[in-house]
A and B are shown apart, each in its own frame.
Chain A
Amino acid sequence: MTAQAQGRRVAPLMWRVARLVERRIETPTAQTLVLDVPGWPGQLPGQHVDLRLTAEDGYQAARSYSLAGPADGERIEVTVQRVPDGEVSPYLTDTYAEGDPLEVRGPVGGWFVWRTDDTAPVLLVGGGSGVVPLMAMIRARRAAGSRTPFRLVYSVRTPDDVIYADELRRRARDDQGLDVAYVYTRSAPEGWRGEPHRIGLADVNSHGWPPDLEPLCYVCGPTGFVETVADLLVGLGHPTRRVRTERFGPTG
């Protein structure tokens, strides 16, 4: 496991003022915020940002959020899962309004990224809102006109919890070489074959790539989910250096 050799950043990452330009409701508990960030330097798919909120009395709270899309000028998108007793996410989903400022720092992270010139097949495995950085890779693939074979295995509780549902349906139909499979843990849609279950060997094996194709695997979700999937991939014969993970703790 070695990070890509790259220029070392020595200038401090600066906080930039961002303003909300658009809000999209993704699920009953998840929203995408489109922010305008003057001076934004661009990002690689899979990177994240720090968002910082400041109260009237100067109190500050910051959290990390994955970027949901590839670079798009000075616009960035984050998808926020509302954590009921959280300090930051309920503000972002319930109170934060169009035109309001917050501060953004980034992009951050040079490991859990996909580069559009990489031609190895890609397996994306997401649990819940862990799909967000994976969606950034799917969108970047489309934007770059890449033919790299992609497979997404997306584990959700119920059909209502699928983030980017319409777009994923459309892309699975239109983006050549992109397959999307779902695993439902609590309730499945009508007509879905099989019972709701937690992701297991059969899901990863039948919807993933065999190790001899030397795919790059990206796994993102809650800790238990990522531990399970990463162990399954290693058990199936994928070298550990080809399995990149990002775990979500409770971040509120």
Chain B
Amino acid sequence: MGIVSPGFQGRPRSSAPDLPPGQYLTEDFPVLSAGPTPRVSLDTWEFVLTGETGAEYRWSWDELMGLPQDTPTVDLHCVTRWSKLGTTWQGVSLDTLLDGVDTGARYALAHSYGGYTTNLPLDDLRGGRAWVVHTYDGGPLPAEHGGPARLLVPHLYLWKSAKWVHGIRLLADDRPGFWETAGYHDYGDPWREQRYQGD
């Protein structure tokens, strides 16, 4: 327990749903990104998986839409401390995209239109826990929330769910991404409150 600030009461405890430590509930969908919102045309959009040996697997927009689609309903936890529950998405599971990709890699570095990167263990992209999503709440994913398509890895802090995702590089060794290089955690588990390096 931290040191008590006299007179601080906080919100009524009973109304609080089960959230990761240090998070609070929001009904809005706040935006966090480090630069201008990239605008990506669907005509030229593609998703590229690059194996650790350099082999590439590419999908156009139409090809992505032609793959089996999932409709996950998930909770979001942002490192800026808001959580949003029960969000609905549509997209393609990374299990589907990784199916047939022969790799011994243990890590992945997602990269985005606009230059953003974020790292995560490859295992966290498997097992029905990660998607490339293009639809939010029944409509096309707005650009400020990462459209036309973003990564969705809801069991990690939301910065791992790279907006405007362009591809994923499979790597033998972990390589820190954009926020991770700036001091944020390499893994980012909200339930263990892994916000910053060393947490």
Contact B80 A240 (CB under 8 A): no
Interface 0/1 of B80-123, CB less than 8 Å to A: 11100000000000000000000000000000001110000000
CB contact list, A48-65 vs B, under 8 A: 52-64
Contact B197 A8 (CB under 8 A): yes
B37 within 8 A of A: yes
Contact A55 B24 (CB under 8 A): no
Q: Specify which chain B residues have a CB less than 8 angstroms from the CB of A109 in the assembled complex.
A: 182-183
Contact A9 B2 (CB under 8 A): no
**Once the chains are docked, how many angstroms separate the CA of A227 from the CA of B36?**
7
A3 within 8 A of B: yes
**Once the chains are docked, how many angstroms separate the CA of A229 from the CA of B114?**
17
**B5-13, B46-54, B60-68, B132-140 - the one binding chain A:** B5-13
Cβ contact of A95, chosen from B1, B8, B24, B80, cutoff 8 A: B8
**B25-33, B146-154, B165-173 - the one binding chain A:** B25-33
CB contact list, B140-199 vs A, under 8 A: 144, 176, 178-179, 181-183, 196-199
Q: Specify which chain B residues have a CB less than 8 angstroms from the CB of A3 in the assembled complex.
A: 178-179, 181-182
Q: By DSSP majority rule, is chain B's interface helix, strand, loop, or mixed? A: loop
Contact A230 B37 (CB under 8 A): yes
Q: Specify which chain A residues have a CB less than 8 angstroms from the CB of B36 in the assembled complex.
A: 230-231, 233-234, 240, 243, 245
B128 within 8 A of A: no
Contact A1 B30 (CB under 8 A): no
A192 within 8 A of B: no
Residue with the highest number of chain A CB atoms closer than 10 Å, among B1, B178, B183: B183
Q: Which residues in B have some Cβ–Cβ distance to A below 8 Å? A: 1-11, 13, 22, 24, 26, 28, 30-38, 80-82, 114-116, 144, 176, 178-179, 181-183, 196-199
9 contacts between A and B (CB under 8 A): A9-B198, A95-B8, A96-B8, A100-B7, A110-B183, A111-B179, A241-B115, A249-B80, A250-B26
